Amino acid sequence: MTVPLPRGADPAAPRLADIAEQARVSEATVSRVLNGKAGVAAATRHKVLAALDVLGYERPVRLRRKSNGLVGLLIPELTNPIFPAFAQVIEQALAGHGYTPVLCTQTPGGATEDELVEQLEERGVTGIVFLSGLHADASADPARYLRLAARGVPFVLINGYNEHVSAPFVSPDDRAAAGMAVRHLAELGHERIGLAIGPTRYVPSRRKEEGFRAALAALGFADDCEQVIQRTLFTVEGGHAAGGALLDRGCTGIVCGSDPMALGVIRAARERGLRVPEDVSVVGFDDSPLIPFTDPPLTTVRQPVRAMATAAVGALLEAVGGNPVERTEFVFQPELVVRGSTAQAPRIP
């Protein structure tokens, strides 16, 4: 069996040996898989095919999986690393079931969500996954999803909820996320805790604010709650603006609605000559892959991305198979990940 070499590879390299070493199986097993022979366990066959992909070899035509259909994945943008993280897991889950994902992103001035949905329907998609779409915006008309359902297109919605849409929703527990961040800062001795959050028309923002208020009330810190909430954009720039305002109001601990916002708060603190975490503690939300490598490593509340994405794909495929899940919200518990951006509250002279 001759396996095509990847570009730039050494023609003298032992091909079967490379694949066998990568897959940790024998060369005879690799040969059986590549020649389509029986007698190889499914898990072993998968390891060999994965080794082919990792090493950059093309799969033989007979081993290329035929797609069960196209599934659209709509995400707001790619600049916030949590969206590519979700997209990667969703695409892996879909591919594992034989579906080909079609990634659609929205950019300022580009195609709208409705236009992207129309384009996906024209291509005959089997279903659609919406991530942080208009379903998360309480001011948006939910009729677009009702019309989509009426046309028989299965869909699932992640990070957002609308009681008027009969579809499966998948969300983290945003209220619990804000609460655990507040309690963490309070345990460190912070008494003036602020919240940098997005606009209240977004369901995740509203829920985080509710959790924040409830946690402050339980701690007896709710007297001037409105003064320590700053609503802005879920971006570094938004966090920078909100952080500046909250620091000027004396906050020594700040809870943020996203990791990019938290990075903006840290920038605002440093511009004021404040140290993180010695003078100001900052907590983010999401825990996308690069967050552990920030300076300082960011304490954050982790979205259970893999569990949420897998559940979303499962719910979608149930609908595709003729067993749609009624209007249900699957709520997943987040996890506080403590790193270097939070510490004991500074002593007041």
For residue range 33-68, what is the model confidence (pLDDT) as tens digits?
Answer: 888 787 888 778 878 887 887 887 877 766 666 667
pLDDT of the residue at 301? 98
pLDDT of the residue at 2? 45
| φ, ψ dihedrals at 12, nearest 5° | -85, -5
pLDDT of the residue at 109? 80
Percentage of residues in the chain having pLDDT higher than 90: 68
pLDDT of the residue at 61? 67
Give the C-alpha separation, 197 to 177, whole Å. 13
Q: How confident is the model at residue 229 (pLDDT cuts 50, 70, 90)?
A: very high
pLDDT of the residue at 310? 95
pLDDT of the residue at 12? 39
When comparing pLDDT for 50 and 336, which is higher? Answer: 336
**Cβ–Cβ contacts within 10 Å for residue 98, how many?**
11
Q: Tell me the average pLDDT across 73-100.
A: 90
Give the C-alpha separation, 266 to 269, whole Å. 5
Q: How confident is the model at residue 7 (pLDDT cuts 50, 70, 90)?
A: very low
Q: Tell me the average pLDDT across 153-171.
A: 94
pLDDT of the residue at 6? 46
Q: Tell me the average pLDDT across 164-189.
A: 97
Residue 341 reports pLDDT greater than 60: yes
pLDDT of the residue at 14? 42
Specify the range with the lowest mean pLDDT, choosing from 64-78, 161-175, 267-281, 283-297.
64-78
Looking at every residue in the chain, the average pLDDT score rounds to: 90
pLDDT of the residue at 345? 94
Residues 110-127: pLDDT tens digits? Answer: 889 999 999 999 999 999
Residue 262 has, within 13 A of its CA and on its CB side, a CA count of 33
24: left (phi over 0), alpha (psi -120 to 50) or beta: left
What is the reported pTM? 0.82
Give the C-alpha separation, 292 to 296, whole Å. 8
Residues 285-333: pLDDT tens digits? Answer: 999 888 999 999 999 999 999 999 999 999 999 999 888 777 789 999 9
**Cβ–Cβ contacts within 10 Å for residue 347, how many?**
6
Structural domains of the chain, with CATH: 15-63 (1.10.260.40), 69-172+305-332 (3.40.50.2300), 174-303 (3.40.50.2300)
CA distances from 246 to 12, 212, 272, 295, 300 (A): 63, 15, 12, 21, 18
12: amino acid identity, one letter: A
Residues 71-86: pLDDT tens digits? Answer: 999 998 888 899 999 9
316: amino acid identity, one letter: L
306: amino acid identity, one letter: R
pLDDT of the residue at 31? 84
pLDDT of the residue at 11? 45
Give the C-alpha separation, 318 to 97, whole Å. 12
No. of H helices and E strands in the chain?
A: 11, 12
